[in-house]
Amino acid sequence: MSQETAFPRSDDSHPSRQLFIASNRLPVHIQKSSDEGIDVSLSSGGLVAGLREIHKNVPFNWLGYGAFPDLNKDQHSDLLEKLRSQRLIPVDIEEKQYKKYYRGMSNQTIWPLFHYFISEFQFSLANWTAYEQVNQQFAEEICKLANDDDMVWVHDYHLMLLPKFLKKLNPSLSIAYFHHIPFPSSDIFRILPSRVSILEGLLECDLIGFHSFDFARHFLSSVARVLGHDIVVDDIYQKHRITKVGVFPLGPNFKTISEHVQKLNESGQHSKMTDAIGTEYLFLGVDRLDYTKGIPERILAFREFLKGHPEFCGKVSLVQLCVPTRANIKAYDTLKSEVERLVSEVNGTFGRPGYTPIHYLYQNLPMDEVIALYKAADVAIVTPLRDGMNLVAKEFVASRDDKKGVLILSEFAGASVEMGEALWVNPYDIRDMAKKMFLGLTMPEKEQQKRMLVLRERARLNDNIVWSKNFMETWNKTSDLNRNRTSPLTGGRRSEIIEEIIKGKKIFIFSDNDGTLTPIRQSPEQAIPEEKTRQLISRIGRYPDVVFTLVTGRPREYCDTYFKDLPINIFAEHGSFFKDPLNPSWKSMLSPDEFATLKDEILPLIQSFVKTVPGSHIELKSTSIVWHYRKADPHFAENQAKALIASLQQLLQNTAYVPYSGKKIVEVRHRLANKGRSLEYVLKQFGWQEQDSILTIGDDITDEDMYRIRPEKNISIHVGQPHFKAKHYLYSTDDVSVFFEDLENALADC
């Protein structure tokens, strides 16, 4: 796979679209050189490792904060020129404001909360204000450069408000976001006072990416509980867009690592490193010095290992590389002191002349030296207490071209989902970690190779290039769907559609009721159509060339009460029953006998869920049963709905009945009772021809069956928000009334 095609600048239909990357910092280290010049070097880190190779080969603009040392005017000009030559654009943020935004809101509020360290969580209104202001500043800098329809890829928790600010400044931008740290469960997330603003900021994106299904599920759950949006699988339905949530595990920079490994093989540096350490075996830990990484627990486990296996004293060392981070913050200073104390304690207890149990390195090492450590290690220990991904695990595997070595991996690292061949541990279980250290150190070489072969091949096939390619492909598709799939029927566009409808020799209109003609209420019995709506339908239905059909899930009794004597066709219970103006008696389209037999089996199951979910209730119809949970707690009820559907699928697997999920409902009905089949029946019965018009209008999943019939002729309208399967949308039932009034006026003028 060529890197030129791995990260396309734009989709094929918009070759001129620019791409912008936005991250907290620019991916560079900037410092003065000895000759008063400026040195600019690429930095390390998960995000940079994922995009570095792509940035070299495919040009795009990267914006981020640049922490510049004190520079004179000439040095500053020289620096800006060097950055621009690499398409790197610094966002100039005042130092005090950056401190509140970065050290305050980002790393004393969001970081600990999202990693479940509630004891370290702090919230300050001043820090939150700075966070808002910096996100706004990023948006303004991007919009100075971006044109309509350009693409902006926002990275990580520092910039979760940026998508919303960008959309306010330029609504035509296509925006995606990738979350590189864990996303917590909704119970934890809801602790955040600014939770609504954070979610609303992210939901202006076309695509939101996570490293694991757990994080994506937690995010969707938070959206449901905090904002109450409708969610179908991984699509979040809003008034103005659909936001897709996807899972894209970041892979290692396999190509660059392989190049380093080849040089190391030629130089033998990793062997020299092993000789310098002076022990037969080597454990390795590589981490930023952060309280989420589980470094004290790892040292305690190593101590437990040496206590339990004294035969390895003098034969095995632990090299613990700690990369400095976030200095002068109390929690990190405390952690550093604790780690150094534990290292001293273990070395003092088990050390002897010529043997140092723990080699503690508090420094940044060049990439080639880190890879030399990976190659020298017998066992890599990657045991964070909570981590979004942790590329160290994948980099270790990518470095082991000898197919040897063992990986001990925390089950709480995002990488664990893809690395089942590693030795999984709970990093809080010190004894079990010590056992896994012994198991890893004594694992036969054949078993090591068996596991490592699989891990390496998976890392090779799913590297950082594949990660970015998969993300971009999904983003392009989602962006196109949001941009092209549907248009709001306002102003001139509404007039154009109505003109297109009335051109038909005959006009076939198919409309849902609840949520379309009649506003949705807390209980279905309250969903009563207004008299003006009934009269409007009646007037439209009386035009000789109009065939108006109401297709509703409501029972026959409801239809007889509220739509009696109207000159329209009516399908009740999603097409189970039908009547037309000339034959006012209901015609059964499906036999109710099978349902009568099944009802006694289905009803007790659903009743058990009514008892479990307060606020839910059952609606019993002639040919279906509906479980309503609009009044229930949305998060709990949605989970129970999934459980109910799974139980019903098993119960009904040998029948013609199927459970369906709708807007706050689960309904059991015949698989042939769908609105698309009803539409086809009317078209056939009333002699539809190619020169006729079809209008379908609805508001939920059941109406999708209408939208898909004869799509080339079907003018489909969804109510409430844009919809993938409808060509147009209206915002509310009030808009539907206005639309039908305009249609009536156009018919009168014909």
3-state SS class at 662: strand
87-113 mean pLDDT:
94
Residue 204 has pLDDT above 90, yes or no: yes
Length, in residues, of the chain:
750
Residue-level pLDDT at 685: 93
Residue-level pLDDT at 48: 66
Residue 7 pLDDT level (bands cut at 50, 70, 90) = very low
Residue 5 has pLDDT above 50, yes or no: no
Angle, CA of 526, 613 and 662, to the nearest 5°: 55
79-84 mean pLDDT:
84
Residue 47 pLDDT level (bands cut at 50, 70, 90) = low
Residue 54 pLDDT level (bands cut at 50, 70, 90) = low
Q: Write down the CATH number for the domain with range 12-247.
A: 3.40.50.2000
Domain ranges of the chain: 12-247, 255-462, 487-589+673-749, 593-670
Residue 412 has pLDDT above 70, yes or no: yes
**Helical pair 430-441 and 295-308, crossing angle rounded to 10 deg:** 60
Residue 341 has pLDDT above 70, yes or no: yes
User: Following DSSP, what letter does each residue of 277-324 receive, concatenated?
Assistant: HT-SEEEEEEEES-TTS-HHHHHHHHHHHHHH-GGGTTTEEEEEEEE-
pLDDT tens digits for range 641-656: 888 988 898 888 888 8
Which of 222, 169, 150 lies closest to 191, judged by CA? 222
Low-confidence winner among 33-37, 64-68, 105-109, 684-688 (lowest mean pLDDT):
33-37
Residue 484 has pLDDT above 80, yes or no: no
Residue-level pLDDT at 524: 67
Given CATH 1.10.287.3510, say whether it is the number of domain 487-589+673-749.
Answer: no
Q: Is 512 a catalytic residue?
A: yes
Indicate whether this model's pTM tops 0.95: no
Residue 638 pLDDT level (bands cut at 50, 70, 90) = confident
What are the helix and strand counts (H, E) for the chain? 27, 30
Residue-level pLDDT at 433: 98
Please state the separation of Cα 467 from the chain's center in Å: 14
The active-site residue out of 512, 699, 700, 703 is: 512
Please, what is the average pLDDT of the chain? 89
Alpha-carbon span 306 to 662, nearest angstrom: 59
Q: Write down the CATH number for the domain with range 255-462.
A: 3.40.50.2000
Which of 274, 250, 249 lies closest to 402, judged by CA? 274
| pLDDT over 70 percentage in the chain | 93
Q: How many CA atoms lie within 13 A of 428 on its CB side?
A: 4
- Identify the H or E element spanning 669: strand 665-670
| pLDDT over 90 percentage in the chain | 64
- Identify the H or E element spanning 237: strand 235-237
Instruction: Specify the higher pLDDT residue, 3 or 262.
Output: 262
Instruction: Specify the higher pLDDT residue, 70 or 510.
Output: 510
Low-confidence winner among 227-231, 352-356, 575-579 (lowest mean pLDDT):
227-231
Residue-level pLDDT at 10: 40
- Identify the H or E element spanning 596: helix 593-612
Residue-level pLDDT at 2: 31
Residue-level pLDDT at 51: 67
Cα–Cα distances (Å) from 119 to 50, 109, 116, 292, 567, in that order, read 32, 11, 9, 12, 67
Residue 6 pLDDT level (bands cut at 50, 70, 90) = very low
CA dihedral 176, 180, 185, 191 (to 10 degrees): -90
Q: Write down the CATH number for the domain with range 593-670.
A: 3.30.70.1020
Burial of 360 (0-12, 13-18, 19+ CB in 10 A): buried
Low-confidence winner among 196-210, 326-340, 503-517 (lowest mean pLDDT):
326-340
3-state SS class at 541: helix
Cα–Cα distances (Å) from 562 to 106, 516, 574, 578, 666, in that order, read 56, 15, 17, 15, 24
Instruction: Specify the higher pLDDT residue, 460 or 69.
Output: 460
Residue 516 has pLDDT above 60, yes or no: yes
**255-462 shares its CATH topology with 487-589+673-749:** yes
Residue 520 pLDDT level (bands cut at 50, 70, 90) = confident
